[in-house]
Structures are given as C-alpha cells and as structure tokens.
Amino acid sequence: MVVGDVTTGTDVLVIGGGPGGYVATIRAGQLDLDVTLVEMDAYGGACLNRGCIPSKALISATDLAHTAGAAEEMGVYADPAVDMQGMISWKDKLVRRLTNGVESLCERAGANLIEGRAEFDDTHRARIVKSGDGQGSESVEFEHAVVATGSKPIEIPNFEFDGDRILSSEHALALETVPMSLLVVGGGYIGMELATVYQKLGCDVTVIEQLQDALPGYEADVTEVVRERAEELGVDFRFGRTAKNWEGTGDGLILRTENEDDEREEFTGEKCLVAVGRRPVTETLNLDAVDIETEDGFIATDDRARTSLEHVFAVGDVAGEPMLAHTAFKEGEVAAEVIAGEPAALDSQAVPAAVFTDPEIGTVGMTADEASEAGYDPVVGQMPLRASGRALTLNEPEGFVRVVADSETGFILGAQIVGPDASELVAELAVAIELGATLEDVGATIHIHPTLGEAVHEAIKGARQESIHY
Amino acid sequence: MAFEYELPDVGEGVAEGEIVAWHVAPGDHVDEDEVLADVETDKAIVDLPSPVAGTIRELHAEEGDVVEVGGVVVTIDVDDEASEQPEDASEPDESTTAAESSEPALKGADGETPVPEGRVFAPPNVRRLARELGVDITAVDGSGPSGRITEGDVRSAAEAEEPERKSAVTKRSDAGDKKSAVTKRSDTPDGDRKSAVTKRTTAGGTDSSASAEDHAESADRDRTVAVPAARKLAAEHGVDIDGVPTEKSRDGEPFVEVEDIEAYVETRQRAEPATEPSETTTAAGTPATAAEARPVSREPYQGIRRTIGDQLQAASSEIPHATHHDTAVVDELVATRERLNERADERLTYLPFVLQAVVAALDRHPVMNTELDEDAAEIKYKEYYNIGIATATEAGLMVPVVEDVDAKRLPELSAEISELIERARSREISREEMQGGTFTVTNFGAVGGEYATPIINRPETAILGVGELRQRPVVDDAGEVVPAQTLPLSLSIDHRVIDGAEAAQFTNTVIEYLETPSLLLLE
C-alpha cells in the first residue's frame, strides 16, 4: 500500500465499464450489493465507443446514401452527397448519448463509480491508479471482483497501428475523409463490415485474407451471398495471401503479401486497415499478484463466470470467445447473480451472432453438420428470400433462411439467415431454441404478412415438408 | 436431512385416505407426534402424527386429495440433520465431482450443479430450477411435447433423489420405531409414489365430465401436461387445452387426458344450444333449455358423503324395506322425565328412554336384533344389544354405537349418548365407535316431523325412526279429541327376515314401554 492511499471497501469491485462490466454493475446494484465500478477510459467500452455502435452508425448512414443512389430500378433517381465529417459527428453525438446513458444507469443502480485503472494488490484488494496527473491512487478492498477489461485489436508483425496509414478498426471508424483506396487485411466480420462501408462511400477496397474465403467460420453458401454482393459493389478479394510488410509512398502505401508457395504480390492503397481479430486486455490487471489462471491470454472461467479464484469473476471479451457484447451482457448478469447467491449459470443453449454486412448474416445454434456431429439426425428447412414478398418489395431478394432441427423430436437446433435484417430475424429462433421449442411450435405461430419474418416461418414449415409459399 | 413421510395404513387394511385438513404449512416446525393432518378413511377421521421432529419442507397433497397408502404426503427436514445439511438443496452429487475432475483448473463452488454440455430441451426457468434443486437435468425425462423438460419434471426428479440421500436416517428411525402401526413407511419405489397422489375424480370418465361443467369457466391455466394425442384432439375440436378442466396432475402439473377433452367438448356442445338461443331471447321469457346455464355450485361427492351414499345405495337396493308407522302417547313419559330431571345431576333427554324401551322390546322380539348371513343361509340372532344412534353431522350421517344398552342405567346411558353424539359432530369419533351395532335408532324428530322411511343400517335388519315429541290431538277413551304428548314411530324392517306382523308387534311393545315407562323397571 502506497502512503497516502485511501482505502475503501466494497462487496463487488467491477473492473471495466464495457458491456460485461456495466451490466454486472447494474445487476449487482439491483441485487442490493454494494458495487464499485472502475473504468479507465469511457463507459460502454469498446462496443459503444469503438465497435458495435459506431460501426452500425456508419453502416446505416452509408446504406442510406448508397441505397438512395442505386434505386433506379425502383424508379428513384438520386445522387446523395456524403459529408464524412458530418456523418462522424452524428455518430459521435449518439455515442456520447449512449455512454452518458450507461453512466447514469450505473449511478442509478447505486454503484460507486471511479475513473482509473485497477490492478490487483492481493486477492481481496485492488489499487486504483487515477487517470490524470496528481490524482494519486486509491485502494479498494473487495469481497468479490468482476474483471471486465475487454479486448483490443490485434496487431500483426510489421503493422503497428499508426492511425495514418495503418489503421485499426477503431481508427477506421473515425476517419474524417473517405480515402481513395483502402486495403483491408483480414476478411473476418470486422474487415467485411468496414470494407462494405468504405466501398459504398466510393472508396476502392481490396480485401486480403490469409484463408481461401471471407468470413471463415460461416458455411460456404452463407458467405457466398455476402461475398458476391461485396464483389458486385466493387470490392476485390485476394485470398490465400498473408500480409508481410508495407512501405509508405507519397500518397499511401505499398503492401507486400505472400501466398503458401512464397509467391509475392504487392498492393497499393491510400490506407490499410488491419482487422485480424481482437485480443484480451489483461496487462493492466497485475494478474500475477493474485494467481488467476489464463488460457491463451484469456482469463479462464467456469460455467458461473468464475475464475480460478472463487470470489473473482471474469466476463466479456477478456473471458474468451465468443467475443460478443451480448454474451458479455449475459456473463455480467450471471456473475452478479452468482455473487448474490442466486442459482444463475451460463447455460444458454445457443448464442446468436450477427454480421452487419450487405446483406446481414444472423446465426444461432448448430449448422446441419454440427447437429450431425452432435449426434442428431438433422432435418433442414430453407426458404430463399427471392420467394419472399417482403424481400422483393425491399428490393433485397438475395439470401435465405435456413433452419436446422432434430428430425426425431422436431426440436429446433439452429438457424442460419443471410439477408436484410438477418440480425433481427434470428432473435425469434434464438428464443425458440432457448425455450426448447419444436418446429411445430414455431410453425403453428402466426407471423405477420408481409414481413421477412414469414421467411423464417416458411423455413420452419419447410423442414416439416409443409411449406406453403415455396 | 429430508424425511419423506408416506401415508401409513391408518385403519384396518385401508388403501387410501383423504387429506381433510392440514395442520401445518411449509416452514412450520413440528415436534415428534405433533398432528400434521386429519386423514379421512372410509368412516372415520384420524390424526396423522409426525414421526419425526423437524421443519415442514413441502406438502405433497392438498386438502381434498386422496392419497394412497405409501404415497408421500409431506417432506420434513429432520432437525438433527438440519445443521449438517443447510437448506440449500443443491447438494453435491457425482456429476459435480465429474465436472471438477474433468476441469481441474476451475472448480465449481461446493454444492453447485454444473451446466451440462450439449443441448438441453428445457426453458431457462426450468434449467435454473434444476440448478436450484441440485438436479442433473440431463438425467430428467421430459413429459412435455417431444420430451421437453418441465418444471414439474425437475421437481419430481428432485423428490425422487431425496430418499437415496436420506437412506441413513431412514434406517435409524426404523430401528427405533415405537409406533410402527402408524408411522411405518412402506418401501414403495419412487416410480410408484409419483402416481400416489390423485384426485378422486380420476376414477372414472363420468366424474371428470362432471367436473368439466363444474369448472368450465375457471380452468384457465398457464400450462398443461398432455400427451400429443390429447393435444391433437384438442386442436381438432378447437379447444384450448389450458382451458380444459382437470383435477388430475402429472408431476405437479395439471394433466389433461383424451377423455377430459371429449368430456369438455361434449359439455360445450350441450351448453351451446342452451346459451345461443338466450342471446335472441326477449325480455318476455327465458327458454326452458337455458335452465342448464343457470348458476349451480357443486361439491365433491367423496369422503364421508360418498361412504354414506354407497352404504345407503347398497342397503336400499339389497334389502326389501317395509316401514311400519305408529304413535305412542307419552304423557306419562314426559311427566316421568320431568320428575327425574328434578333430581338428576345431568338432564336426561328422551333418547335413553327410547333406547331402554327398544332394548326391552328387542328382548321380547329377538328377530328384530338379527343379521342375515346370506353366505351361510342363516339368520344370526344377536344376544346383546348395541344400539346405533344415527346422528346428523356437518359431514353427513354418522352412527355411533352405544354398547350393551341393557346393562346400563338411565343416567349412564344418557351421558354416553350425549358424549357420543357430541364427538360424532366434532368428527372426533373413531371408526371402532361406529361399528358393531345390532339395531339402530334414528331420531329425526330432533329436527322435526312425524313419520319417515328410515333405511336400514346394514348388516342390521331393522331401524326405528323417532319423530318429534309434541302435543297432537288424540282421541281419548271417552271418544274426545284431546291434546296429548305423542311420539310418532317409523320402523323399517328387512322384509326378508322380518314379517310385517312382527314389525307391528315389536312396535306395539316399544309403545307399551314408552307409554308406561315404569314397566322398564321390570327389565
């Protein structure tokens, strides 16, 4: 303990105010626990400030401009001009609004909020290093701690983020002008979302991916819809190439790549976005002081979101895959409830996930292959959106809804949706899976006409060989 | 440690009992031998004492439920064990250990139920309940559609696991069992136990159809257990399965069977022609058919009511009844009683006089004190006089028996009758006290009226109904109509055993004693 430290005590110390941390804070407050939240940067974490929300803001705005400018088929002629600074300041405004909202929600839950960086002193004490000069530090003694320090973009060798030519996703969400051309290293969901945004803004985008297709982890027919649409928009894909190094030029950079056979290829662009994934932030925590176990850099947790120390929990990205804000929400809730003695656990039957490309991808639960591997005899129902009245009226007929169920019992096991608003459509199937619903249950449910939701209904009925509209 | 108390055999060869009233609620602490509930068997209500001291965890039957002997009626957390076993039901089990060993780096807290790997077809609240109750949900058989696991399934599984955990206690308490007749627990396997608690109405389709009308409006459940065939039938008839009345339950959830739906549909169809015309009925009149739609209230035909009904039906259909009516003029009896009451410590009622007169008459007409043994093709003459007194109680008719009336003096008899009737009315009377009668007197006159047609209390062969003692006009020896205290008598006989003339002669003798009570001194 440093001389001059102030020591306070708390039931629950939450380290990090992102989706996992702020939810744990609010839930702990609801459960009448004395909770202290330490945040070193901005409430809402990467999601609100540098991830989900900013990217969705830019996607919506660029979609609006792009759609308006590409609707001749619908009899609409327009050539929208985009003011990038205006778009960014609109985004910043709503991010501020949301982060302020998170802060006041935490306050309203009765949490004690401290700005600073928390590191473990011992298993029941943390030191808070205040941000700002001369703020000193403070010690907090805690009964329980919830580590929610999140993640940050991975840097690859020779590609340190400089915010000028080599951009992280965070930089790419804050550019004040649209570059002429953009090299995107990494064809995962972040790379694909931003590639689409910048291509629609008139930038010439090239995606360089080490693997043989974009969006690894998704089934080929799902990826195909998105990739083909991106190609239609003008995105170039270069698969099987690894970014090796780069060299600055007068108005941009030259990026050097290699393929499996050591064949080199160079690409030129104004800027380069490196989006190859995110890594957990644990270096700020002084984990050595408490002997909390990690796995591949992530803090290892059990089905109660608990670390190797029984009274210390870890939630969100720092606790491992899937690194999704909504799983962080769930983990934060469970951690708070377990601390409060409730029989909560991380027992979700499926985690829905979305990619906000054009069109969107929404998935939940098992693919047909995964269901077979898990020992089920899967039955599949698929509804192409070109047979959906609503998809046609939206002029977005690409994509499909696919539902996977157990043929014996009819239990719904998973769904893959690619199409407009797939991220919303998948919620219905997530509920169905979580409740243990069958094809018959959802098939017997009335869906509004004309909506995209009908396609879900049709896919369900299709799995029962009862589809009406397809 | 939880003790599951199974309904003991509370009478001779009793197969089931109805829980009439609980004296305890979950959370209550009970001492050993403290009365937990009133249990009604064929003819009596008995106390159900607690075999252990502890805290009531759960009642497994509701008041009105009929529980088979061996069915668990209550779970009690036994005191001794309470300190060792915290109330937290999520006790460690093998699966926890397995999870720990497979993932040594991250141990769950002691007593936690691990989250199973792979899919579980149960909604979140059910999975949470399983953790709370320490149930391995992967081992639970689901009773929902396609085998989906319900809250009831998890609760049943939790209950089924308890006996294994408490086996040590079970043995110990068995060894020190002081009153095995009442607290003996059968070793019914868990599977049987689940079905032990059933409503009487499950006995037949008729009953459930009756209850369909009964609860036609009230059945609006959130969830219902039903087999797919039942759900399908409901769908075919456009019936909301949650609206189908049922008293049945499976694993703690309302349970609807095909026959319930059929009964409900039938009821609905009957009700429709009755209600639809009424919509168009003008103020001028209500159609006769609408009568069915008039409000009715119903009560279960079970317990003592049903026992009485079954007995009376058997007696009525089996015995050719004949009833003889006559009247005793009892001015002298009234005067005698008044004189005696001036001296008696306890006021005498008329009933002991009637009983003495009856016994004196039985002595002279032994055929009235008989039993027909059809199997042996014999008439059994009983040479003792145990007189039953039919008594109206809130629960229905009971017949406490006064033994050896001939050997008892008037005050003694009077006190015993009063005491028996009182205890019958307060339902404290035992089965034994209502058995072994040889002849019955029914004193309906206490309520009012003159003559009746009493139904014989089998296996007896005669019953005397006594009307209201009051002044009525009689023609005296001088041919004048005068007021006199009269007691109307109605004697029903088993005409197989007793002739009409014998009935008349017996009645005459009774009248003789009642009209001249001093004759009783000779008896």
pLDDT in tens, chain B (523 residues): 678 888 877 655 567 788 888 888 888 888 888 888 888 876 577 788 888 888 888 888 888 888 887 788 888 888 764 444 434 444 334 343 333 333 333 445 567 888 988 899 999 999 999 999 999 999 898 998 889 999 999 999 988 876 555 443 333 334 333 333 333 333 434 433 333 343 333 333 344 444 444 444 446 677 777 776 777 777 777 777 777 877 777 766 777 877 788 777 777 766 555 444 444 444 444 444 555 567 888 887 877 778 788 888 889 999 999 999 999 999 999 999 998 888 877 788 889 999 999 999 999 999 999 999 888 889 999 999 999 999 888 777 888 999 999 999 888 899 899 889 888 888 788 888 888 899 999 988 888 899 999 999 988 999 999 999 999 999 988 899 999 999 999 999 999 999 999 999 999 999 999 999 888 888 7
**CA–CA gap between residue B352 and residue B349 (Å, rounded):** 7
Sole residue written with tokens 């009478």: B11
Q: By the 8 A CB rule, do B400 and B421 touch? A: yes
Interchain CB distance below 8 Å, B90 and A304: no
- Strands in B54-59's sheet, in edge-to-edge order, are B2-6, B72-78, B54-59, B29-30
ipTM of the complex: 0.85
Straight-line distance from the first to the last Cα atom of chain A, in angstroms, rounded to the nearest whole number: 70
Residues in chain A: 470
Query: What string of DSSP letters covers B173-203?
Result: HHHT-S-HHHH------HHHHHTTEE-GGGG
Q: Please tell me the predicted confidence (pLDDT) of residue B275.
A: 44
Q: Please tell me the predicted confidence (pLDDT) of residue B173.
A: 39
Structural domains of chain A, with CATH: 6-67+76-152+279-339 (3.50.50.60), 166-276 (3.50.50.60), 353-463 (3.30.390.30)
Query: Which residues in chain A are closer than 8 Å to B123, comparing Cβ atoms?
Result: 434-436
Interchain CB distance below 8 Å, A435 and B119: no
Q: By the 8 A CB rule, do A10 and A143 touch? A: yes
- Catalytic residue annotation of B: 495
Q: Is the pLDDT of residue A153 over 80?
A: yes
Q: Which of B212, B220, B223 is nearest to B252 (CA)?
A: B223
| Chain A nearest CA to B281, separation (Å) | 37
The answer for A 363-422 residues in CB contact with B (under 8 A) is 374, 409-411, 413
Cα dihedral sign, B88-B89-B90-B95:
positive
Q: Which of A331, A470, A356 is nearest to A402 (CA)?
A: A470
Kindly tell me the burial class for residue B147, based on how many C-beta atoms sit within 10 Å of its own C-beta (0-12, 13-18, 19 or more): middle
Active site residue A311: no
- pLDDT tens digit string along B356-382? 999 999 999 999 999 998 888 899 999
Sole residue written with tokens 């960014």: A88
Mind spelling out the 3-state secondary structure of B367-433?
HHCEEEECCCCEEEECCCCCEEEEEEECCEEECCEECCHHHCCHHHHHHHHHHHHHHHHCCCCCCHH
Q: Please tell me the predicted confidence (pLDDT) of residue B195.
A: 37
Is pTM beyond 0.80? Reply is: no
C-beta pairs of B164-168 under 8 Å, 24+ apart in sequence: B165/B1, B165/B2, B165/B91, B166/B1, B166/B2, B166/B3, B166/B4, B168/B1
Task: Enter the tokens of residue A333.
Answer: 């809730």
- Please tell me which of the candidates B105, B121, B145 has its beta carbon nearest to residue A293: B105
Interchain CB distance below 8 Å, A343 and B131: yes
Interchain CB distance below 8 Å, A435 and B123: yes
Residue B109 has what DSSP assignment? P
- Please tell me which of the candidates A300, A347, A438 has its beta carbon nearest to residue B105: A300
Interchain CB distance below 8 Å, A438 and B120: no
**CA–CA gap between residue A62 and residue B492 (Å, rounded):** 101
List Cα–Cα distances, A298 to A150, A287, B376, in angstroms.
10, 11, 90
**CA–CA gap between residue A455 and residue A432 (Å, rounded):** 15
Burial B322-359 (b: 16+ CB within 10 A, else e): ebbebbbbbeebbebbeebeeeeeeebbbbbbbbbbbb
Q: Please tell me the predicted confidence (pLDDT) of residue B3.
A: 80
CATH number of B2-197: 2.40.50.100
Burial A169-179 (b: 16+ CB within 10 A, else e): bbbbbebeebb
Look at strands B321-329 and A137-147 and give their pairing: unpaired
Which three-class secondary structure state does DSSP give residue A287?
helix
Q: By the 8 A CB rule, do A305 and A148 touch? A: no
Between vectors from CA B447 to CA B441 and to CA B450, what angle results, nearest 5°?
Answer: 70
CATH topology of domain B304-522: Chloramphenicol Acetyltransferase (3.30.559)
Give me the residues paired with residue B250 across strands: B253
Q: Do B2-197 and B304-522 have matching folds?
A: no
Torsion angle (degrees, nearest 10) of CA A330, A333, A338, A344: -50
Residue B43 has what DSSP assignment? S
| Chain B nearest CA to A433, separation (Å) | 8
Q: Of all helices (H) and strands (E), which one includes residue B46?
A: strand B45-49
- pLDDT tens digit string along A75-117? 999 999 999 999 999 999 999 999 999 999 999 999 999 999 9
**CA–CA gap between residue B177 and residue B125 (Å, rounded):** 41
Query: What string of DSSP letters covers A11-76?
Result: EEEEE--SHHHHHHHHHHHHTT--EEEEESS-TTHHHHHHSHHHHHHHHHHHHHHHHHHT-GGGT-
Q: Which of A16, A183, A66, A431 is nearest to B124 (CA)?
A: A431
Rg of chain A over Cα atoms, rounded to whole angstroms, equals: 24
**CA–CA gap between residue B447 and residue B306 (Å, rounded):** 23
**CA–CA gap between residue A290 and residue B371 (Å, rounded):** 90
Q: Where are the domains of chain B?
A: 2-197, 200-282, 304-522
Q: Which of A147, A146, A139, A141 is nearest to A124 (CA)?
A: A141
Of the candidates A311, A449, A457, A469, the residue annotated as catalytic is A449
For chain B, say whether A346 makes contact (Cβ under 8 Å): yes
